[in-house]
Structure 1
Amino acid sequence: MATIEKLENLERKLVVTVKWDDINAEFDKRLKQTAKKAKIDGFRPGHAPIKMVAQMYGASIQNEVLNDLAQAEFNKEMIAQQVRIADLLRVDAVEGQENNTETFQAAFIFEVLPEINLADLSGLNIEKSVANVNDAEIDQTIEILRKQRTRYNRVERGAQNNDRVIIDFVGKIDGELFDGGSSENYPFVLGQGQMLPEFEAGILGMKEGESKDVSVNFPEDYHGKEVAGKTAVFTITVHNVAEAELPQVDEAFAKALGIADGDVSKMREEVKKNVSREVKRRTDAQNVEAVMAALRDAHSFDLPRSLVNEEAARLAEEMKQNFAQQGLDAKDLNLPVEMFIDRAEERVKLGLILPALVEANKLQPTEEQIKNIVNEFAESYEDPQEVVAWYYADRERLQGPSNLALEANVVAFVLGKAKVTEKTLNFDEVMGAGM
Structure 2
Amino acid sequence: MKVQWEKQENHQGVLTVEVDEEKVKSALDAAFYKVRKQINVPGFRKGKVPRQLFEARFGVEALYQDALDILLPESYAQAVEEAGIEPVDRPDIDVEQIEKGKPLIYKATVTVKPEVELGEYKDLEIPERDFSVKDEDIDQELETMRNRYAELETVEGEAQKHDHVLIDFEGFIDGEPFEGGKSENYNLELGSGQFISGFEDQLIGVKAGEEKDVVVTFPEDYQQEKLAGKEATFKVKVHEIKRKNLPELDDEFAKDVSEFDTLQELKDDIKRKLQERKEEEEKQYKRDTVVEKAAENASVDIPQVMVEQEIDRMLQNFEQQLRMQGMNLDTYKQMMGQEEEALREQFKEQAEKRVKTSLVLEAIAKKENVEVSDEDLEEEIKRFAEMLNRDVEDVRKDLSDQGMDSLKEDIIIRKTIELLVSNSQNAA
TM above 0.5:
yes
Distance 1:56 1:162, change over 3 A: same
Separation in structure 2 between the aligned mates of residue 388 and residue 99 of structure 1, nearest angstrom? 55
Note closer, same or farther for the CA distance 1:196–1:313 as it changes in structure 2 (3 Å cut): closer
| Aligned-residue CA RMSD (Å) | 4.8
Matches within 5 A, 1:233-244: 244=244
User: Match of 2:145, as an amino acid?
Assistant: L
For 1:76 and 1:237, locate their aligned partners in 2 and report how far apart those are by CA, in whole Å: 72
Change over 3 Å in CA distance of 1:16–1:182 after alignment to 2: closer
Is the CA contact 2:210–2:238 (under 8 Å) kept in the aligned structure 1?
A: yes
Among 198, 203, 223, which residue is 1:200 paired with? 203
- Is 2:416 the counterpart of 1:414? no
Deviations 1:212-256 (A, max 9, x none): 67665444759895996477787x77766x654321223332233
Output aligned runs, 1:130-141, within 5 Å.
Answer: 130-141=130-141
Q: Deviations over 1:166-219 (max 9, x none)?
A: 57778999xx9978999887765566677736633543xx6x7xx667665444
Is 1:45 the equivalent of 2:43?
Answer: no
Distance 2:282 2:163 in 1: 36
Asked if structure 2 preserves the Cα contact closer than 8 Å seen for 1:161 and 1:189, the reply is no
Of the three residues 345, 349, 352, the one matched with 1:345 is: 352
Q: Does 1:271 align with 2:270?
A: yes
2:253 counterpart of 1:249: no
Alignment of 1:287-302 (within 5 A): 287-302=286-301
Q: Partner residue of 1:335?
A: 340
Aligned to 2:307: 308
Structure 2 portions without partners, runs of 5+: 334-338
| TM-score for both structures, normalised by structure 2 | 0.70
Contact 2:88 2:306 in 1 (8 A): yes
Aligned pair in 2 of structure 1 residues 363, 120: CA closer, same or farther (>3 Å)?
farther
Partner residue in 1 for 2:86: 84
**Counterparts of residues 36-435 of structure 1 (less than 5 Å):** 39-54=40-55, 55-56=57-58, 58-66=60-68, 68-69=70-71, 72-94=74-96, 103-116=103-116, 118-122=118-122, 124-127=124-127, 129-153=129-153, 158-159=157-158, 161-162=160-161, 164=163, 196=199, 199-203=202-206, 216-219=214-217, 229=231, 244-259=244-259, 261-331=260-330, 335-336=340-341, 337-359=344-366, 360-362=368-370, 364=372, 367=376, 370=379, 374=383, 394-395=395-396, 409-421=415-427
**Matched-pair contact (CA < 8 Å) for 1:17–1:70:** no
Q: Counterpart of 1:317 in structure 2: which amino acid?
A: Q
- C-alpha displacement of 1:4: 1.7
**Matched residue, 1:8:** 9
- How far residue 142 of structure 1 moved from its aligned partner, in angstroms, is 0.7
How far apart in 1 are the matches of 2:426 and 2:360?
21
| Structure 1 unmatched ranges of 5 or more | 379-386, 423-435
2: CA distance between counterparts of 1:129 and 1:5? 51
Using the TM superposition, give the Cα deviation of residue 71 of structure 1 relative to its aligned residue in structure 2, in angstroms: 5.5
- 1:166·1:185 contact (CA, 8 Å) conserved in 2? no
The number of aligned residues is: 400
TM-fit CA distance, 1:16: 2.2
| Aligned counterparts of 1:393 and 1:410: Cα–Cα separation in 2 | 29
Alpha-carbon spacing, 1:189–1:8, altered in 2? closer, same or farther (3 Å): closer
Between stretches 291-300 and 44-53, larger displacement belongs to 44-53
Contact 1:90 1:110 in 2 (8 A): yes
Distance 2:269 2:287 in 1: 27
The alignment-based identity, stated in percent, is 19
The separation in 1 between residues aligned to 2:108 and 2:381, in whole angstroms, is 47
Shift of 1:258: 2.7
Distance 1:250 1:324 in 2: 42
Tell me, what secondary structure is at the counterpart of 1:354? helix
Structure possessing the higher radius of gyration over alpha carbons: 1
Alpha carbons of 1:167 and 1:346: their partners in 2 closer, same or farther (altered >3 Å)? closer
Partners of 2:111 and 2:318 lie apart in 1 by: 28
* Structure 1 length-normalised TM: 0.69
Q: Within 2, Cα distance between the matches of 1:263 and 1:324?
A: 43
Q: Deviations over 1:391-421 (max 9, x none)?
A: 6752479999988876654333213324543
